[in-house]
Structure 1
Amino acid sequence: MDESAPAPKHSEMHELVAVILLSLVAVLTAWCGFESSKWGGDSSVAFSAASAARIEAADHDGQARDARGFDLAVYTQWVLAQTGGDTALADYIEERFSPEFAIAFDAWQADGEQESGPFRMPEYVPPGTEEAAEATARADASTKDALDFNEKGDNYSLMTVMFALVLFLAAIAQRGISVLATRLVLGLAGGLALIGLVVLLTFPIRL
């Protein structure tokens, strides 16, 4: 009699344990795949939102840059008029300052013109500056969310690999190996499945 062959009752018990383990881990594997897909989708959406926000920020930044260039050109003419002693022309040009630059210009003069020019004043905020900053902040936040979602999806993907190993071990345990080997393999598979389940319970869920 071959002592390495499992007794019938042992074989049936081991087979039952393996089937239960295979069924449970198959469900967990499917769940991990579902969650990984959901988090991956959220990550893609967040990356798209970040990209759109950065494009918006670039548009507003271009608007602010153009406004600054226009104000600089007008201010240059004002400086030339002042330097040339043509106060009438300087006053005429001053009346045509943009609202944003006029605020900074008045603050600059009220401060005794200590700064090198109105452009250095904190009051000078050309149109598009605040919008660009807000869009950039949204882009940064969306990028952070996207990376976080991607990490969560990767964690679930890693768990599918671990559960695949459990499935492999459970299948090996049904291949007519010795009783001791079967128990060791099933024990290892069960231990890994339990560890995986515990870790899985700590993961956030996305439905």
Structure 2
Amino acid sequence: MKEATRERIVDIITVFTLSITAVLTAWCGFEASKWGGEMSISFSQASGARIQAAAADGQARDARQYDLTIYTEWVLAERGEDTELVEFIEERFTPEFRVAFDAWEAGGRIERGPMAMAEYVPPGTVEAAELSARADAKFDEALENNQRGDNYSLLTVMFALVLFLTALSQRDFTPWVGRTLLGLAVAIDLVLIVMLLTFPIKI
């Protein structure tokens, strides 16, 4: 192969490598930014869910306190054999406590009290558990999005290295040095492109 033809092929490879790498570098920067935004959104959603879970848990605690107070009065009234007061207090049971109380009575009062029954689920308990689970899921999602952004940022740096090696290959070195640098740049570029194809895309 003539030297002129060889040089033309090298020039074509150089231009193509510089062009495609410049585009891919910009793309990786764009994706890193997008995944960084997704990370912030997920962290924000996790924080919001935590706050809502805390509010729901507070509601459940208040409901338990109310039911405990009523139950205490019921125990005192029953021990005092004040039937009228017992009936009066039972009329003020919350629906959730009534379900547990009836189950407790039906079971022969074996458990320590209605609040120890599985049937006792004060308002806010289920919501608190669901919101806590959502917060955990969003936090894990945020960490995953952060890692994706970091992966794209790393590729951006590596593509910049390809650009550096490709530009360096055009300096006034002996031909074999320039071609070696270009070959190394192309090899790294191909590996990075394969890696890039495995990454998720966010538009």
TM-score (norm 2): 0.93
8 Å CA contact 1:64, 1:129 repeated in 2: yes
Q: Give the Cα separation in 2 of the matches to 1:206 and 1:68.
A: 46
| Partners of 2:59 and 2:50 in 1: CA distance | 14
Question: In the alignment, is the contact (CA less than 8 A) between 1:71 and 1:98 conserved in 2?
Answer: yes
Change (3 A) 1:15 1:21: same
Q: Contact 1:10–1:179 (CA<8 Å) still a contact in 2?
A: no
Partners of 2:139 and 2:82 in 1: CA distance: 53
Judge which range, 188-197 or 154-163, deviates more: 154-163
After TM superposition, where is structure 1 displaced by more than 6 Å over at least 4 residues in a row? none
Select the residue among 150, 156, 169 that pairs with 2:152: 156
Q: Does 1:95 align with 2:91?
A: yes
Deviates more, 1:197-206 or 1:104-113: 197-206
Deviates more, 1:13-22 or 1:112-121: 13-22
| Uncovered stretches (5+) of structure 1, i.e. residues with no partner | 1-6
SS of residue in 2 equivalent to 1:104: helix
Distance in 2 (alpha carbons) for counterparts of 1:149 and 1:98: 44
2:64 aligned residue: 68
State the TM-score, normalized to the length of structure 1.
0.91
In percent, how many aligned pairs have the same letter?
A: 59
Distance, in Å, in 1 between the alignment partners of 2:93 and 2:8 is 91
**Does residue 17 in structure 1 map to residue 44 in structure 2?**
no
After TM superposition, list the pairs within 5 Å mapping 1:107-118 onto structure 2.
Answer: 107-118=103-114
Distance 1:18 1:71 in 2: 78
Aligned to 1:3: none
Contact 1:46–1:145, Cα closer than 8 Å, also in 2:
yes
Rounded to whole Å, the distance in 1 between the matches of 2:60 and 2:174 is 77
Spell out, residue by residue over 1:16-55, the C-alpha distance to the aligned partner (whole angstroms, 9 max, x if none).
4322211110000001111111111111111111111111
User: Residue 25 of structure 1 contacts residue 166 of structure 1 at CA under 8 Å; is this kept in 2?
Assistant: yes
- RMSD, aligned α-carbons: 1.5
Deviation sequence 1:162-192 (CA, Å, 0-9, x none): 1111111111111111111111110100000
Cα separation, 2, equivalents of 1:76 and 1:177: 92
Whole-angstrom distance in 1 between the partners of 2:133 and 2:194: 37
Residue 77 of structure 2 aligns with which residue?
81
Name structure 2 gaps, 5 residues minimum: none
Partner-residue secondary structure (3-state), 1:177? coil
How many Å apart are 1:9 and its aligned residue? 6.2
Match of 1:189 among 174, 181, 185: 185
Distance in 2 between the 1:176 and 1:12 partners?
16
Letter in 2 for 1:183: R
What is the rounded CA distance, in whole Å, between the counterparts of 2:200 and 2:98 in structure 1? 53
* Separation in structure 1 between the aligned mates of residue 190 and residue 112 of structure 2, nearest angstrom: 70
Aligned residues: 201
**CA distance in structure 1 between the aligned counterparts of 2:93 and 2:9, rounded to whole angstroms:** 90
How far apart, CA to CA, are the structure 1 residues paired with 2:103 and 2:4? 95
Is 1:168 matched with 2:161? no
